[in-house]
Amino acid sequence: MKPDVKTIIFLQPFLFFTLSHVSHISLASHPSHPSLTPLTLLSPLSPMHTLVFATHNAHKAREIEQILGPGFSIKTLRDIGQEAEIPETADTLEGNALLKARFVQEKYGFDCFSEDTGLEVEALQGAPGVHTARYSGEARDPEENMQLLLTNLAGQANRQARFRTIIALVMEGKEILLEGICPGKIAPQKQGTGGFGYDPVFMPDGYDQTFAELGEAVKNQISHRAKATHKLIEQIKVYTANESEQFE
Ligand code: IMP
């Protein structure tokens, strides 16, 4: 059953309450559709979705925001007042991703997603893997990490590697794990200045440049994080579609 206008007006506070559980609803006019009223924007089919992304990494937050597009508002740990790092004590990417999302859900009550990424190098039996951030020590220094990796692969013909991202989504009491993989190889030396982390030494399959040379636009099309994020969007759509059905 579709609600008529009177029903929508009557339901407005309930819609707001329900949707605000997963959504931030802007009461300002839509910039590209100034004639749309706030009531139109309260349609359960077009809410602005707010989720906490359990990270302090502004680079990653920007990447994910660009991939998600304009319908989503992403808050970071800093936005919700969580300044301290959430300890990553699990021994798998999956375990660490879940641990961070659960922490935010339990402490702050927000629906949340978190991600954990590892660089898995074939000739190193999957290392650095879950230890990617701290490969060269607790300082988590990207330059030292890359240097150690290049040293450990010196003289090695097999340069096959992959980035693997796990996203854990904790939403409406459910937990879901999503995976994105970007296969490639480790370059003989650092190349390029863009990006972050191991980008200067990682060449994705199909390219003869590193992520650091290819730039954000290309990386966002093919990266491990982009693939996992597209799965995240599909999953969020399933939730929001289910919510909308309650009003049909
Ligand atoms: P974490 O998931 O933030 O803990 O990242 C683990 C490690 O992988 C860190 O050293 C990051 O710098 C590195 N890393 C994660 N994503 C990327 C990427 O897209 N490019 C290069 N390095 C990355």
Q: What are phi and psi of 223, to 5 degrees?
A: -75, 160
76 in a domain, yes or no?
A: yes
| Domains: count for the chain | 1
38 in a domain, yes or no?
A: no
Give the model confidence (pLDDT) of 13-53 as tens digits. 333 333 333 333 222 233 333 333 222 233 334 467 778 99
Q: Does the bond joining 128 to the residue before it have cis omega, within 30 degrees of 0?
A: yes
124 in a domain, yes or no?
A: yes
96 in a domain, yes or no?
A: yes
Give yes or no for residue 151 having a pLDDT over 50.
Answer: yes
SS3 sequence of 19-54: HHCCEECCCCCECCECCCCHHHHCCCCCCEEEEEEC
179 in a domain, yes or no?
A: yes
* Domain span including residue 114: 47-245
Residue 109 maps to which CATH number? Answer: 3.90.950.10
Determine which one of 4, 91, 111, 116 is catalytic. Answer: 116
Kindly give the distance from the C-alpha atom of residue 118 to the centroid of ligand 1, in angstroms, as a whole number.
7
20 in a domain, yes or no?
A: no
Tell me the pLDDT band of 63, cut-offs 50, 70 and 90. Answer: confident
Kindly give the distance from the C-alpha atom of residue 162 to the centroid of ligand 1, in angstroms, as a whole number.
12
18 in a domain, yes or no?
A: no
H or E element: which one contains 61? helix 58-68
| Radius of gyration, alpha carbons of the chain | 21
39 in a domain, yes or no?
A: no
